[in-house]
Each structure stands twice: as structure tokens, then as C-alpha cells.
Amino acid sequence: NPYILATLLFGLGLGTTITFASSHWLLAWMGLEINTLAIIPLMAQHHHPRAVEATTKYFLTQATAAAMLLFASTTNAWLTGQWDIQQMSHPFPLTLITLALALKIGLAPMHTWLPEVLQGLDLTTGLVLSTWQKLAPFALLLQIQNVNPTILVTLGLASTLVGGWGGLNQTQLRKVLAYSSIAHLGWMILILQYSPSLTLLALLTYFVMTFSTFLVFKLNKSTSINALAISWTKAPILTSLTPLVLLSLGGLPPLTGFMPKWLILQELAKQDLAPLATLAALSALLSLYFYLRISYAMTLTMSPNNLTGVTPWRFSSPQLTLPLAIATTTTVSLL
């Protein structure tokens, strides 16, 4: 129903906006809750057991994270007598809130729900989950000052490594994208306390690249690496561009995805964190391997059943192709 859909999308926007605009922890928590409640019907709209399972898992983790956040902010109010987001000073609620937000966006070692949930979803909803749903917790993470740097660096490094290792073993595209999301979030968290503007840049480029990737897979109607082998007959022009999009996600120069990684490594080196920068760069190589594998499956293998008569790409809908064109061009050539 379009009315219900519009209401839910409005709820998604409203929840994120409330969290953006709030300086009080209760209001921020409320925004996060509205956000979660709005996306749950969207996730379960295809009444498929897998989708319902994913929705349940998502609901439980988000509810846990929100409860942790509320508990931590209440504890902070109890210990210091204030509810202001910017003025957090006590280490205990600070740590708790950081962990709650990490669980909310799926940073390792609190990441295990993300691949499972994303795997059960439709690609469009998966795209919303990978991009829009990360904005509100990120706004809060950027606002809380004087967090223990060790916590953030540990979370970030663990996420980049887990995102690299986890994706190697997957054949399902949505799970690969989930691990890629974990790895990218790790890069953002690594640099969060040294240069917040770089975190925002990384988030923005990640959004553009993910948008492009999800739309490509949606146009091809493919959910596993094997299904990509016949994408040549479905959309020839697009198929020749997709490897560039994937390699951009992996962070290969001269593509857009290289920019945030380059600047983050430079900033880490400036902060005398050369070992950390080295580990992060090596974990990016792991990610690059599985992106290469997908590119290989997509363009360098001939499909066993060549469907020359079928050319659905001529009739694809304009509301999908225009954003796809913009996102792909941006992803490939913004550096």
C-alpha cells in the first residue's frame, strides 16, 4: 500500500532527523527507536520465512543496543547530573554508549547479526539498512567527545580485519556486501577521534559506492556469485562497468574508493600510528581479493547458457537506471 509505505519512509526520515537535531540523550534514543520501528515492516514485507527471521534478529539486536544506550545515558545523568550529548565526561557511560552504538551499526566484535540480517532481505531494503540506518548512530558517535581512544581503535581495527576475513568465505552477494560494510565502518571508526571530517568523507564515499553496487545487483536480479555469470546477457554495458565499481569498493586507485583510504592512512601516519595504518592497509587487501573474485565471476567467465535472445536491459525502468548511472559515474571517477 503506497500510503503505508509513505508513512514508513517518513518515519525513517523522522527518526534520523530527530537524532540529528537532538542534544539530549532521551531525544536521541527516541529518534533511534522510531528509526528501528519504521524499518521493521519494510524488512518483513515479503512474507518469507527468511525475511521474518532476519527482521526478528534485527529487532532483537537494535532493541538491545537501544536499551544499552538508554541505560548508559541514565547512568550518566545519575553520575554527573546532566543529559547533554556533548558534555559526556564520566568514562563508564561513555564506554557503554560507544559499545551500544557499535552494536547498532554492526562493528566487530558486535557484527554477527549484520550478514545474517542482510542475507534475508530484499536488495532495496538491504540498501536502506546499509546506508540510511547508519546515519543516526554515526551522528551520535561524532558528537560524543573524550571517548577512550583505545576502544575506538580496537573496534575499528577488529572491524577492518573481520570485514576482510569474513567476506572471503562467502558466495552470497548480500553477505559479501555486509562484510564489506563492516570493513568500511572499521576504517571510519579508526580515524574518528583524529579527524572527524575524514570519517564523514569516508561515510559519504561508502554510501555512493554501496548505492551503485546494490542497484547493479538489483538490475541483474542476482543474489549469489554464480548468478553473476549470466549478467552479460542481461545488461552488457553495465556488466563491463561493474568491476570498476567493485574495485572502487575495495579501494583501488585511481577510483573513488581509494580517496578515503589514502587520506585515512596519511592521517594515521601523521599521528605516529604506522603499525595501525599497516594493519588496516593489509586488511584492505583481503577485501580487495573477494571484490576481485566477484569481478572475475561477472566479466571474465563465459556463461554456460548464453541467452542471446533475451535482452531485458532494453526495457529496464528509468527510475532505477538514472540513479544507477549517477552513482556509478561518481564511484568510478570522483577521485
Q: What is the pLDDT of residues 45-101, one digit of tens each?
A: 998 999 999 999 999 999 999 999 999 999 999 999 999 999 899 999 999 999 999
Q: What's the alpha-carbon Rg for the chain, to the nearest Å?
A: 20
pLDDT of residue 48: 93
3-state secondary structure 271-317: CCCHHHHHHHHHHHHHHHHHHHHHHHHHHCCCCCCCCCCCCHHHHCC
Q: Considering the entire predicted model, what is its pTM?
A: 0.94
Q: Which residues contact 326 (CB under 8 A, 6 or more apart)?
A: none
Read off the C-alpha cell for 181: 560494510
> What SS3 state is found at 52?
helix
Provide the pLDDT for residue 234.
75
Q: Which three cell numbers stand for residue 242?
A: 561493474
State the pLDDT at residue 318: 73
CB 192 within 8 A of CB 141: yes
pLDDT of residue 3: 97
pLDDT beneath 70, residues of the chain: 302-316
pLDDT (0 to 100) of residue 36: 97
DSSP letter, residue 335: -
